[in-house]
Amino acid sequence: MKLLEYEAKGVFSDYGIPIPKGFVIREPEEITAHLQEVGDAVVLKAEVDVGGRGKAGGVLMVDSASAVEKARELFSREIRGVPVREILVEERLEIEHEYYLSIAIDRSSKQPVVLFGDTGGVEIERAAKEEESAIRRALVSPLLREVPAFLMRELLAGAPADIAPVINNLYRIFQEKDAMLAEINPLVTTPAGVYAADAKLIIDDNALARQGIEVNRDLSEREREAERHGFSYVELDGTIGVIGNGAGLTMSTIDLIDYYRGRAANFLDVGGGADQERVMHAVRLVASLPSVKVILVNLLGGITRCDEVARGIITAGVDVPVIVRMAGTNEEQGRRLLAEHGYRMVDSMEAAVRVALEVGE
Amino acid sequence: MIYGDRNLGVIVQNITGRQGRFHTELMNAYAREVGWRGIVAGVAPGKAGMEVDGVPVYNTVKDALAEHDATASVIFVPAPAAGDAIMEAAYAGIELAVVITEHIPVHDTMKAIAYAKLHDCTVIGPNCPGLLSPGECKLGIMPAHLATRGEVGVVSRSGTLTYEVVDELSRAGIGQSTVVGIGGDPVIGQTFVDALARFEEDPHTKAVVVIGEVGGNLEEEGVRSTDLPVVAYIAGVSAPPEKRMGHAGAIIEGGEGDARSKVRRLSEVGVPVAARPSEIPGLVLELL
């Protein structure tokens, strides 16, 4: 789950990474009470989870006299379609230089990778493309609690030495907060020292519970409902509802629909050992999507009991047609049950997709 | 076959859990069918002295290995304790840990894999269906009845999609040397590179089917590292960016790891890429 900038900055501050003075407002008038804390030159930042926020007009440089008025203006705007509910008000830093710093997971070497660049800010992607050495990489063993000094020297090269503690503190955050990505772009030097001018922190969805995060805000309401049933669920923009077991098979089913020029309405992986109740919930959830014209169920595996699946589909009792492909234990019983209730069972995945496309027309 | 044969002695960690118990029975049924040694012991803290499907249960991996000759473990331990279970196995001398558990925090996985490496323990998974060498052994949850013995290796990030492909291969008369699911998480012990290196050393494997999906670039890295003939299939060509497609590792991030560019890069290095699972057997037959 992605944290908002001010939440990430709160974490950074707890770990001793200097952040600009600032506060969060939910109403424009709230600015006045705290304005003296940040001084005359102020930055207003819309706290919305979208990329390219600055270019989309989500960051405003203002002076204290016009701050309330500009904040009101920002609250009334949408940044790439996302309404602004919170604004981070910050002091404007006297920036000497911008650097890039991030820590991510390197899948290939199976360990954290620290990335440091002498050019930061919005130019980072262009700089990285033009010159490969613009960003230096250091792989750090997950068994270590800090970046070894020799790797630190390689990362910093000529950059100021007071960046080293920022890197180590960010590395501690990365490990202790179960981060998938921790990024400071830009990391800036000012006459008063080093600051994290921006902050990005993505927490591992599999570690939310132990991080004390109860609700995954990245999920829509329907996605959360799916999660409560133990499903993996993604909404797409087509008309064919898809239910599968296993992420790969479900993805493959959607691809096959795409191959035959259809469009899937969703991705729903019911997970292992689909029983009657889970199948029923899955079918009802997908049927509740207004765009769905037909539901395609594709279940495969040794432990899936086809009679249970059939009962789940029958008890769901939805109005949209359901096309079923399943293979596993008690296949014949499942087929008979479905046939008795007027549902169609198809033998192969490919044939099932074609039938679903015909029915959905 | 790779990773082990019918002489492999195996333990199951969390053998008393629902999954552990159920799959111990299935693995032992397979052992009897093909003459493999099978599951020789189980581990469940506080349950020493019990039996599951005739298999004795111990409190720790160390206790189990003191009484039984085993070098591999299949781990069904719940996510919060699974990283620790991998390290326990490695420390006690297990050489091959197959981790079925899903939803392990990625930092636990990274630490456990690094620690296992210090103890020369190979980790397959997590979030994987395990491995099956038809006629030899089965470590994990793959349905054995779909597989047939032969000369084609299968390595995959998926579970059920692998069964689909194995079924297609078997129906086309193409047997398998070993089918290994390396797992759907962003960090996994054995990557395509590692599994393909094993297949390359195996005299029984003549070609390999690589089944990948969106996220990362490990498929390409693997295919580039091997001299074996390879057929690939990539799931998720229609997956939207920045959405996790069921597997923790199946996500297109920062414009990277999408299936279409994977397919393009694999094709560029001369690997036939199937557009549908049903095309895989035909492409394999062309290579053999």
Predicted confidence (pLDDT) per residue in A224-244, tens digit: 889 889 899 999 999 999 999
Q: Is residue A114 within 8 Å of A147, Cβ to Cβ?
A: yes
Nearest CA in chain A to B211: A248
Q: Which residues of A touch B163 (CB under 8 A)?
A: 249, 300-302
Q: Is residue B226 within 8 Å of B155, Cβ to Cβ?
A: no
Residue A128: which pLDDT band, with cuts at 50, 70 and 90? low
Q: Which of B23, B26, B138, B160 to mutate to test the interface with A (most CBs of A within 10 A)?
A: B160
Nearest CA in chain A to B212: A248
pLDDT score, position B153: 98
Comma-separated ranges of CATH 3.40.50.261 domains in chain A: 221-360
Strand partners, A197: none
CB–CB contact B106 A244 (8 Å) = no
pLDDT score, position A272: 75
Of A143, A236, A350, the CB nearest to B114: A143
Comma-separated ranges of CATH 3.30.470.20 domains in chain A: 97-207
Q: What percent of chain A has pLDDT over 90?
A: 78
Q: How far, in Å, CA of A201 to CA of A204, rounded?
A: 10
**Nearest-CA distance from A100 to chain B in Å?**
16
Q: Is residue B178 within 8 Å of B131, Cβ to Cβ?
A: yes
Domains of chain B: 9-124 (3.40.50.720), 142-287 (3.40.50.261)
Q: Which range scores top for mean pLDDT: A36-40, B68-72, B258-262?
A: B68-72
Nearest CA in chain B to A112: B110
Instruction: Kindly give, in sequence order, each residue whose CB lies less than 8 Å from that of residue A237, ignoring residues fewer than 6 positions away.
Output: A263, A265, A291
Predicted confidence (pLDDT) per residue in B175-200, tens digit: 999 999 999 999 999 999 999 999 99
pLDDT score, position A302: 65
Instruction: Decide which of A304 and A184 is more confident.
Output: A184
Residue B243: which pLDDT band, with cuts at 50, 70 and 90? confident
Q: How far, in Å, CA of B201 to CA of B195, rounded?
A: 10
CB–CB contact A349 B277 (8 Å) = yes
Residue A137: which pLDDT band, with cuts at 50, 70 and 90? very high
Comma-separated ranges of CATH 3.30.1490.20 domains in chain A: 21-91
DSSP, residue by residue, A142-181? TT-SS--HHHHHHHHTTS-GGGHHHHHHHHHHHHHTTEEE
Q: Is A127 a residue whose pLDDT tops 90?
A: no
CATH 3.30.1490.20 fits A21-91, yes or no: yes
Q: What is the CATH number of domain A221-360?
A: 3.40.50.261
Predicted confidence (pLDDT) per residue in B73-94, tens digit: 999 999 999 999 999 999 999 9
CB–CB contact A248 B156 (8 Å) = yes
Instruction: Decide which of A361 and A300 is more confident.
Output: A300
pLDDT score, position A303: 67
Residue B23: which pLDDT band, with cuts at 50, 70 and 90? very high
Q: Is A132 a residue whose pLDDT tops 70?
A: no
A219-to-A66, A235, A242, B23 alpha-carbon distances in Å: 36, 11, 19, 33
Question: Which of the residues A6, A99, A100, A233 is marked catalytic?
Answer: A100
DSSP, residue by residue, chain B? --S--TT-EEEEETTTSHHHHHHHHHHHHHHHHHT--EEEEEE-TT-TT-EETTEEEESSHHHHHHHS---EEEE---HHHHHHHHHHHHHHT-SEEEE------HHHHHHHHHHHHHTT-EEE-SS--EEEETTTEEEES--GGG--EEEEEEEES-SHHHHHHHHHHHHTT--EEEEEE--SSSS-SS-HHHHHHHHHH-TT--EEEEEEESSSSHHHHHHHH--S-EEEEEE-TTPPTT---SSTT---BTTBS-HHHHHHHHHHTT--EESSGGGHHHHHHHH-
Of B22, B187, B237, the CB nearest to A110: B187
Of A111, A207, A252, the CB nearest to B277: A252
Mean pLDDT of the B103-122 span: 98
Residue A225 annotated in active site: no
Mean pLDDT of the B49-71 span: 98
ipTM of the complex: 0.93
pLDDT score, position A48: 93
Q: Which CATH class is domain A97-207?
A: alpha beta
Q: Is A126 a residue whose pLDDT tops 80?
A: no
CB–CB contact A251 B214 (8 Å) = yes
Q: Is A353 a residue whose pLDDT tops 70?
A: yes
Nearest CA in chain B to A230: B246
CB–CB contact B240 A244 (8 Å) = no
Active site residues of B: 247
